[in-house]
Amino acid sequence: MSSTFLNRYPRATNRHDEMLHPNGEVRPHWDDLIKTIASASEVSMRQRVESVQRQIKENGVTYNIYADTQGAQRPWDLDVLPLVIPEDEWSVIEAAVIQRAQLLNAILVDVYGDQSLFKQGQLPLSILHGNPGFLRPCHGIELPGNIALHHYAVDIARAPNGQWWVIADRTQAPSGAGYALENRTIISNIYPELFYDLKVRRLSEYFGALRDSLNHWGRLCAAKQSASNPQIRTLRDGEHPLTVILTPGPYNETYHEQSYMAGYLGFPLVQGSDLTVRNNIVMLKTLSGLKPVHAIIRRVDDDFCDPLELNSDSLLGVSGLIESARNGNVLITNSLGSNILESGSLLGFLPKLCQHFFGESLKMPSIASWWCGEPAALDYVVSNLNHLVIKPAFPRRGERPIFGEDLSDIEKAQLTQKLRANPNHYLAQELVKISQAPVWDQAESNKLNANAIGLRVYVSATPNGYVVMPGGLTRVATGEDSRVITIQQGGTSKDTWILGNQTHPHQSLIRKTVSSKDLVHENTYLSSRTVENLYWFGRYSVRINLAARLLRASLLYFLESASSEYQATEWPAVHGLCVWYGLMPDLGKGEEQLTSSSIDHNQIEKQLISAVLSKEEDSLAKNIQQFYQLCFNLRERLSLDNWRAINQFCQKYIEPNPKASLSEVLSILNETCTSLVTLSGYSLDGMTRDHGWRFLSMGRRIERIQFLCTLIQSGLNMPAESNLDWILELTDSIVTYRSRYSAQPELLPVLDLILLDENNPNSMIFQLKGFIKYLTKINDHYGNAHEEHIMIERLNALLSLNPDIDFQRGSSSLIKWLQVTQQMSIEISESMSHKFFSYSGVQQESNRY
């Protein structure tokens, strides 16, 4: 490919260009990347774009736009071109961002501690009390190492003169670091040589430091816990403190990232209901009881973290969390109440405060800001609306900036009135032209667009000071309004490459090497909720498999009976199973339908299609969506490959074609059955055999037991001349049967194969024995449960049946056994829920008065 794309690249006017000098020459640090692209063929660039899109799709990188269960997840958008920053420039940014983190931390510690800044007149009290983000109950929380700000993200952008400016500070629960990591994984894959040659700085060290630091502080909290509470034992040498990531749940816009980070860092991802506070100590509800938590990375907003002392409507938080933190029994990152730093009202005071605290000037300026709460600032703002952006001083979700230049004279007068009436609530900022960077056009080949960009830089506290992630999340304004960079309203992202000439040795001072006594063989921190999800994952993975096979069999019978004189005697049994599974409506007299003269083929056809694809009625598609939701909730437990396979499989059903014909539906079913064979292989092979996996397996077994009970009962009720192929088909046993008997299936051998054959993984006895085995293992660990004995009793009862007498049509003892077993399996499932999955009950707010 020639470098004509450079000639077509729009030149910057009144703004900085990241790639080009004002004279049009490529800046040296972009040289290699541009050469690589210029020498690439059109085809290979297209392959790169497609590879990025494919990886995003396969990895399931999404951004939930709205809290929506019905798949309103937007795929993440990532440009093939990274943003390149040379090392010397980066070290300037790095130093400035570290200084800013230290400064903001000092302010935060003061606000929730001595408040000396206000007593000494460094800051006006109105900045504190006028800010709804100032949470009085959080005053006096103990801060290990005097650090309140552990994870900090700062949005910076480049002004026309080439200088970087701070646009905004993210101090609550900054998002995006995980996306930056995923961007890196994807982009480094498509330029492997270049990535290596340029010595692009790696991100993994940063996350290592983050993990080590949390362990360090978590250990302090652990010591505090055991000092004040004799029941809490001290951590053993080499034992890690327990850090959890507190998520608002799967409907949060960045849930994908949260689960990705949890998996990457190896911290359990928990929801508020997974935690409880006992004797001032935060506990994780696990299978093996309550486990003390030492550190919490929260992705829940300040105000929602503790319904007892903060927003009482919150269902996302943990009652008593603040009290526990106040006593130093748990580290919360960032400390609760840190939202106060996100207010732009502080920006104007930072240079002065930087001098006050450190005796040095602020290394990177904030974008020029005027907080209207200061009378002089208000006057300036009112007379300069044209080149200002007006924002809420104390930001809340969903409030959009007002651009003075967009307003008519009347609107300006109205705005002025609002500003004067409530000056504290407004902040004005200079409208800057931020720099542009090249973005590869995905539609038109060989074309670069120029879009405004901003960079989000991540900082973490360590016991040795703040460290900066060598990279970041570059966000690109491709939305409607180029003045606003937001991922929420559309907009793409870039990987960020910091070039390095020297190698940066890993500087971990805290981490020890793992010795043999530290080896962990069993994850003891399985939360009850995770286990419940795994159990249902098991059940649904079998359920959709059986439902797909059942519907395929139904469809074939229907087609056969519609096209010939042949009367399907099996139809009522097959149809009955569909009704039992909730896939088809129970028509009462439905059993007569296919044999009577008034067959309504159209109606049944419609019902069958709907049973597969319907989004409204219970259907296979609905079950698959349910399954997908479970997988999504278990995201951090699944390997990337596992997740990819599930994601690919489920995507087909998320947007089903409602107008599919019967034969199209049949081919979808065939495809589904094939994919499911692979999927269940994954779950058996790839997962660690821990208790979580055992619950998953028990879910699979229980689902099969219930299905087999129903299936065999319908089989036993069929007329004598009925064909038994479909029973073998549904139990995936047809090949085995043919290889053994090479004849038309007969009842006795069929029942023997699907009830008593221990070598058949789909047989009843196989399910029972497996279930008993897993439950015994779990009981060994968590105390005895009588469910085990019920199943052993069922097994013995099955073995005591005499096939020659009992394996016949209408056999009352077999039917009785099936009925009791089915009933028992339902009861066992319920009692397991009570015992393991929840600390029985839903948390609710007390009536207040």
Partner 1 sequence: MRYQITHETKYSYESIVTLSQQLLFMSPRNFLHQTCISHNIRIEPNPSESLRSPDYFNNIKNYISIFSPHKELMVSAESIVDVFNRPSLNQLLPSPPWEDVKKKLSQGYWEDEDPINFLYASIKAPLDEAFSSYAAMSFTPNRPIIEAAFELTQRIHNDFEFDSDSTDISTPLLDFFSNKRGVCQDFSHLMISCLRSLGLACRYVSGYILTTPPAGQARLVGSDASHAWISVYCPVNGWVDFDPTNHCAVNDQHITVAWGRDFNDVSPMRGTVLGGGKQTLHVNVTMDPIFDYELSIQLPLTVT
Contact assessment for residue 631 and residue 638, using Cβ atoms and an 8 Å cutoff: yes
Q: Which of 46, 139, 433, 447 binds partner 1 (CB under 8 A)?
A: 139
Q: Which residue type is seen at 242?
A: L
State the minimum distance, in angstroms, from the CB of residue 339 to partner 1.
Answer: 15
Contact assessment for residue 269 and residue 257, using Cβ atoms and an 8 Å cutoff: no
State the minimum distance, in angstroms, from the CB of residue 406 to partner 1.
Answer: 25
Cα gap 201→85, rounded to integer Å? 11
Q: Does 133 bind partner 1 (CB under 8 A)?
A: no
466 forms beta bridges with 461
Q: Which of 36, 51, 126, 569 binds partner 1 (CB under 8 A)?
A: 126
Stretch that binds partner 1, among 134-142, 401-409, 472-480, 798-806 (CB under 8 A): 134-142
> Considering only CA atoms, which of 426, 638, 493 is closest in space to residue 175?
493
Cα gap 187→52, rounded to integer Å? 7
State the minimum distance, in angstroms, from the CB of residue 845 to partner 1.
Answer: 6
Shorter beta-carbon distance to partner 1: residue 323 or 690: 323
Residue window 189-208: x/- pattern of binding to partner 1, with contact defined by CB under 8 A: --------------------
Pairing mode of beta strands 281-286, 151-158: unpaired
Shorter beta-carbon distance to partner 1: residue 648 or 838: 838
Q: Does 276 bind partner 1 (CB under 8 A)?
A: yes
Phi-psi region of 146 (alpha: psi -120 to 50; beta: other; left: phi over 0): left
Contact assessment for residue 437 and residue 179, using Cβ atoms and an 8 Å cutoff: no
Whole-angstrom distance between the N-terminal and C-terminal Cα of the chain? 73
Q: Does 21 bind partner 1 (CB under 8 A)?
A: no
Q: Which of 19, 49, 80, 127 binds partner 1 (CB under 8 A)?
A: 127
Stretch that binds partner 1, among 135-143, 456-464, 529-537, 585-593 (CB under 8 A): 135-143
Shorter beta-carbon distance to partner 1: residue 136 or 777: 136
Contacts of 820 (CB under 8 A, 6+ apart): 794, 797
Cα gap 457→206, rounded to integer Å? 12
Shorter beta-carbon distance to partner 1: residue 325 or 814: 325
Stretch that binds partner 1, among 70-78, 117-125, 455-463, 712-720 (CB under 8 A): 117-125
Q: Does 142 bind partner 1 (CB under 8 A)?
A: no
Shorter beta-carbon distance to partner 1: residue 123 or 221: 123
State the minimum distance, in angstroms, from the CB of residue 475 to partner 1.
Answer: 33
Shorter beta-carbon distance to partner 1: residue 349 or 653: 349
Residue window 361-400: x/- pattern of binding to partner 1, with contact defined by CB under 8 A: ------------xx--------------------------
Q: Does 137 bind partner 1 (CB under 8 A)?
A: yes
Side-chain-side CA neighbours of residue 493 (13 Å): 33
Stretch that binds partner 1, among 688-696, 754-762, 766-774, 838-846 (CB under 8 A): 838-846
Phi-psi region of 90 (alpha: psi -120 to 50; beta: other; left: phi over 0): alpha
- The secondary structure element, H or E, covering residue 468 is strand 465-468
Q: Which of residues 218-247 bind partner 1 (CB under 8 A)?
A: none
According to DSSP H, which parts of 68-115 are helical? 87-111
Q: Which of 15, 74, 89, 118 binds partner 1 (CB under 8 A)?
A: 118
> Considering only CA atoms, which of 337, 277, 309, 329 is closest in space to residue 115?
337
Pairing mode of beta strands 369-371, 426-430: antiparallel
State the minimum distance, in angstroms, from the CB of residue 382 to partner 1.
Answer: 17
State the minimum distance, in angstroms, from the CB of residue 323 to partner 1.
Answer: 6
State the minimum distance, in angstroms, from the CB of residue 136 to partner 1.
Answer: 4
State the minimum distance, in angstroms, from the CB of residue 306 to partner 1.
Answer: 10
Cα gap 478→453, rounded to integer Å? 9
Q: Which of 7, 14, 28, 121 binds partner 1 (CB under 8 A)?
A: 121
State the minimum distance, in angstroms, from the CB of residue 309 to partner 1.
Answer: 7
499 forms beta bridges with 200
State the minimum distance, in angstroms, from the CB of residue 840 to partner 1.
Answer: 7
> Considering only CA atoms, which of 148, 152, 145, 144 is closest in space to residue 99?
152
Shorter beta-carbon distance to partner 1: residue 312 or 603: 312
State the minimum distance, in angstroms, from the CB of residue 841 to partner 1.
Answer: 3
Kindly state the tokens that stand for 756: 């008593």
Shorter beta-carbon distance to partner 1: residue 488 or 833: 833
Phi, psi (rounded to 5 degrees) for 350: -60, -45
Q: Which of residues 516-575 bind partner 1 (CB under 8 A)?
A: none
Q: Which of residues 318-357 bind partner 1 (CB under 8 A)?
A: 319-320, 323
Q: Which of 424, 541, 713, 731 binds partner 1 (CB under 8 A)?
A: 424
Q: Which of 129, 352, 420, 789 binds partner 1 (CB under 8 A)?
A: 129
Q: Does 141 bind partner 1 (CB under 8 A)?
A: no
State the minimum distance, in angstroms, from the CB of residue 132 to partner 1.
Answer: 8
Place of tokens 């001290």: 234
Number of residues that bind partner 1 (CB under 8 A): 42
Contact assessment for residue 773 and residue 794, using Cβ atoms and an 8 Å cutoff: no
Stretch that binds partner 1, among 70-78, 113-121, 214-222, 567-575 (CB under 8 A): 113-121
State the minimum distance, in angstroms, from the CB of residue 276 to partner 1.
Answer: 7
State the minimum distance, in angstroms, from the CB of residue 423 to partner 1.
Answer: 9
459 forms beta bridges with 152, 468
Shorter beta-carbon distance to partner 1: residue 517 or 834: 834
Kindly state the tokens that stand for 327: 């006593």
Cα gap 17→63, rounded to integer Å? 29
Shorter beta-carbon distance to partner 1: residue 91 or 279: 279
Cα gap 320→24, rounded to integer Å? 60
Stretch that binds partner 1, among 123-131, 249-257, 380-388, 679-687 (CB under 8 A): 123-131
State the minimum distance, in angstroms, from the CB of residue 424 to partner 1.
Answer: 7
Q: Does 125 bind partner 1 (CB under 8 A)?
A: yes
According to DSSP H, which parts of 122-203 are helical? 125-129, 177-190, 192-197
DSSP string, 372-422: TTSHHHHHHHHHTGGGEEEEESS--TT---EEGGG--HHHHHHHHHHHHHS
Q: Does 279 bind partner 1 (CB under 8 A)?
A: yes
Contact assessment for residue 489 and residue 479, using Cβ atoms and an 8 Å cutoff: yes
Coil/strand/helix, residue 436:
strand
The three-point CA angle 287-293-294 to 5° equals 155
State the minimum distance, in angstroms, from the CB of residue 110 to partner 1.
Answer: 14
Coil/strand/helix, residue 139:
coil
295 forms beta bridges with 243, 331
Contact assessment for residue 171 and residue 149, using Cβ atoms and an 8 Å cutoff: yes
Q: Does 839 bind partner 1 (CB under 8 A)?
A: yes
Q: Which of residues 306-325 bind partner 1 (CB under 8 A)?
A: 307-309, 312, 319-320, 323
Stretch that binds partner 1, among 68-76, 420-428, 555-563, 765-773 (CB under 8 A): 420-428
Cα gap 794→799, rounded to integer Å? 9
In order of 44, 45, 46, 585, the CA distances from 40 in angstroms are 6, 6, 10, 58
Cα gap 368→363, rounded to integer Å? 14
State the minimum distance, in angstroms, from the CB of residue 105 to partner 1.
Answer: 22
Shorter beta-carbon distance to partner 1: residue 257 or 303: 303
The residues that touch partner 1, with contacts defined as CB under 8 A, are 115, 118, 121, 124-130, 132, 136-137, 139, 276-280, 307-309, 312, 319-320, 323, 373-374, 421-422, 424, 839-849
